[in-house]
Amino acid sequence: MAMADLASLKRQFIERYGGTEAGIRIYHAPGRVNLIGEHTDYNGGYVFPAALTFGTTMLVRARTDGTMGLASTNFPLAGRIDLKSVTYDPDDEWMNYPKGVVRELMQAGFDLGGGFDILYCGEIPNGAGLSSSASIEVVTAYGLLELNGHPTDTVEIAKLAQRAENEFVGVKCGIMDQFAVANGRRNHAILLLCDTLEYELVPFESGPYRLVIGNTNKRRGLADSKYNERRGECEQAVRDLRAAFPDLGLLGRLTPDELRAHEHLIGNETVRRRARHVVEEIDRVRRSVEVLKRGDLEAFGRLMNASHDSLRDLYEVTGPELDAMVDAARSVPGVLGSRMTGAGFGGCTVSLVHEDAVEAFRREVGARYREATGLTADFYVCSIGNGVERIE
C-alpha cells in the first residue's frame, strides 16, 4: 500500500484552502489488524491487535473565523462547518467521523481556537474491517489537540474517539480499534485488557513468517445490526449467569472452567454458544502471548485457526466469503494459521505465511477464492507500524 506523497498533498491543500505551506502540520494514524481476540473487547476481555504501516494522513492548518473546512482526497464530498453547530447529518457521510470527534473535544472542554482546515488522505480500503474509521477519528483528535497546544494522551484520545463513534456516528463498537490506532508501536502487538485498559507492548517476532491480510472485498452489509445483536446476546448471558455470580458485570471476567460449570443457567442455546466463544477466545489470547514469548509460531497458528473456527461455529460472524478464504489459505503449504480479523461478516482475514510461500499464497488463495465466491481478493503483506504521530 503506497504511503501518501506529502508534497502533492500540500499542493492539494493549498489549491483548496489557499495560502502557503506555512502553518500546515501533518499527522498520521494507522489502520489496525487484530491478531487474535475477536468480539472480546466489549466483554471486557483481552485483544491482541497491531497497528499497520498504512492509515490516514491529515494536513491541518489553523483559521481565525470559527469554522472548520473538511476535505478528503478519497471522496468528492467536502464542507465548511461552523464550530458552533456541529451536528450529525446523514448527508455529510464520511465527514460525520471528524465532526463527531470535534464535538467530543469541545464537550470535553478543549478550546479549538478559531477553527481549522483539514485535508485527509486515506490509504485504508473502506469497509474492509481494518479500522479506517478509528484511524480518521484518532488522527483528528490527536492533530487538533496538538495544533491547539493541548496534551495528547493517547489512551484518553482512544476513549474520546470511541465515544465519538458510539454517540455521534451511532456504532456501538468496543475500544480495540481506537486503542490500537492510538497506541501501536512498530514491530509490536498490543496485549490490551479492555476492562481496565491495562496494556503491554509485546514484540512480534515472526522470523521467516509474514502476516498476510486478505481482503474478501465483500461488502459488510448488515454488519452493524448483527454486531449490535451479538452485544445484546452477551448481555443476556451475563443476566442469566448472575444467578451464580450476582456481581458479574462483564462476561470476560469468567474463566472457561467457571462458564462450563454454570452455562446451564443460560436459557437460550444460541446465547450459550456466544458466551462460550467469548470466554474461550479470551483464554486463547492469553495462551497466544505465552506461546509467542517462547517463539512457538506453530502453536500461535493453531490458536489462530481455533479462533476462526469458534467465530464460525459458536459466534457465527464469519460467512461464506471469510470461510472460503480461510479454507483456501489453510491448504497452502507454509501457512501456520489463518482467521478472520475485525467484526466479521466480510472484511479481511489474517494469515501467518512463510516468506517463501507468499507468492504461492496470493496465487492459490486468490484463485480458489474467486472460484468459490466469484469475487476478487486483494492481499497485503503487512508490517507493524506506529500509532498516531506527527510526521511534519
Computed on alpha carbons and rounded to an integer, the radius of gyration of the chain in Å comes to 21
User: Quick one: which of 13, 29, 30, 41 contacts ligand GLA (CB under 6 A)?
Assistant: 41
Residue 206, CA distances (Å) to 20, 51, 294 in order: 45, 16, 11
Query: Which residue, among 136, 114, 95, has the nearest Cα to 23 in the 3D structure?
Result: 114
Residue 44, CA distances (Å) to 147, 183, 186 in order: 33, 18, 25
Start-end of H helices in the chain:
6-17, 96-107, 132-147, 154-163, 176-183, 223-241, 256-262, 269-293, 297-313, 320-330, 358-373
The DSSP output letter for 19 is: S
User: Quick one: which of 98, 342, 346, 385 contacts ligand GLA (CB under 6 A)?
Assistant: 342
336 is an interface residue for ligand GLA by CB under 6 A: no
- Only one of the segments 2-10, 169-177, 257-265, 297-305 lies at the binding site for ligand GLA (rule: CB under 6 A); that segment is 169-177
Pick 165 or 240: Cβ nearer ligand GLA: 165
42 is an interface residue for ligand GLA by CB under 6 A: yes
Q: Which residues, 19 to 38, sit near ligand GLA by CB under 6 A?
A: 38
Please confirm, yes or no, whether 177 is among the known catalytic residues. Answer: yes
User: CA 165, CA 160: separation in Å to the nearest integer?
Assistant: 9
Pick 345 or 379: Cβ nearer ligand GLA: 345
Pick 177 or 283: Cβ nearer ligand GLA: 177
Task: Give the alpha-carbon dihedral of 351, 259, 264, 342, to 10 degrees.
Answer: -30
- Only one of the segments 151-159, 173-181, 305-313, 351-359 lies at the binding site for ligand GLA (rule: CB under 6 A); that segment is 173-181
Identify the active-site residue in 91, 92, 111, 177. 177
User: Quick one: which of 27, 28, 35, 39 contacts ligand GLA (CB under 6 A)?
Assistant: 39
Task: Specify whether the CB–CB gap between 148 and 164 falls below 8 A.
Answer: no
Judged by CB under 6 A, the number of residues near ligand GLA is 10
Dihedral-angle region of residue 185 (phi above 0 means left; psi in -120 to 50 means alpha; beta otherwise): beta
How near is the Cβ of 49 to ligand GLA at its closest, in Å?
9
177 is an interface residue for ligand GLA by CB under 6 A: yes
Catalytically active residues are 177
**Which residues would be at the binding site for ligand GLA (CB under 6 A)?**
38-39, 41-42, 173-174, 176-177, 342-343
